[in-house]
Amino acid sequence: MSVHFTGAIPAGRGRRWLQFASPQAFYGPAGALASLCLSVSLLLAAAGLYIGFFIAPTDAQQGDAYRIIFVHVPAAWLSMVIYVAMAFWSAVGLVVNTRLSAMMASALAPTGALFTLLALWTGALWGKPTWGAWWVWDARLTSELLLLFLYLGFIALQAAIDDKRRADRAGALLALVGVVNIPVIYFSVKWWNTLHQGASVSVASAPTIATPMLLGMLVMALAMWAYAAGAALVRLRCIILEREGNSAWVARLAAGGAR
């Protein structure tokens, strides 16, 4: 199937954005965006942790042990958001057959796995004083663990196939199949009777936590979001250089760096 544009794209607008679909064109801007995102994430993380550990009040029931939420909850959010983004770019790569989309999906996977592992680890640290156990086979915990296996499976599958185009397609299919686990994670506390508490922050209702707690969580979520974008862009640049290593523009880039 081929895709055709039926109308002319205004010069200086649409064409200017479409040019960044090329790995060569996006390589430079990706570096600038990565530096910006990582710098912003550092500042936001410092602000979020300060709010969470020094401004937010002590919880009446859990004491100071609850403060793990300022890392745990944003990490859990990002673990799901990154997987959806990875599945989205995988789908774009399959449908439109763009190289950069498949590279972006590959670049997102390790960061998504990192946040999933962080969510599970901090959840265990929170669960011990709250539930009296490091781990229980709770529906949300189990589906989050499955998410980690999906990330690792995506990475392992792509690494096991030498042909990068075939590896991209195989990984994309796995990502699209695994995306059904995301609503399971999100709605598990509503669908089943679990130990895991319900959401304290929801778009459908007012927050059930104090304003400083909410502010600290949201700032930390933005910090992790910025870090995820920056880390993925850094990794994307490495993937571009690896896959485009035989092209003339990479040779010119290497020659310029050597001088």
Q: What per-residue confidence (pLDDT) applies to 172?
A: 95
Instruction: Assign 50 a pLDDT band (cuts: 50, 70, 90).
Output: very high
Query: Quick one: pLDDT band at residue 191, thresholds 50, 70, 90?
Result: low
| Per-position DSSP letters for the chain, written without gaps between them | ------SPPPTTTHHHHHGGGSHHHHHHHHHHHHHHHHHHHHHHHHHHHHIIIIISPPBTTTBGGGGGHHHHHHHHHHHHHHHHHHHHHHHHHHHH--HHHHHHHHHHHHHHHHHHHHHHHHHHHHHHHHHSSS----HHHHHHHHHHHHHHHHHHHHHH-SSHHHHHHHHHHHHHHHTTHHHHHHHHHHHS--SS---S-BTTB--SS-HHHHHHHHHHHHHHHHHHHHHHHHHHHHHHHHHTTTSHHHHHHHHHHH-
pLDDT digit string, tens, across residues 5-24: 333 444 455 455 556 567 88
Whether residue 203 is predicted with pLDDT greater than 80 in this model: the reply is no
**Residue 259 above 60 pLDDT?**
no
Residue 222 has pLDDT above 90, yes or no: yes
Name the least confident of 26-30, 79-83, 132-136.
Answer: 132-136
Looking at the predicted structure, is the pLDDT value of residue 224 above 60? yes
- pLDDT band, very low/low/confident/very high, at 2 (cuts 50, 70, 90): very low
Q: Where are the domains of the chain?
A: 32-56+66-243
Q: What is the pLDDT of residue 31?
A: 93
- pLDDT reported for residue 92: 93
Average pLDDT over residues 48-74: 86
What's residue 19's pLDDT? 60
pLDDT of amino acid 114: 97
Q: What is the pLDDT of residue 67?
A: 87
pLDDT at 1 over 60: no
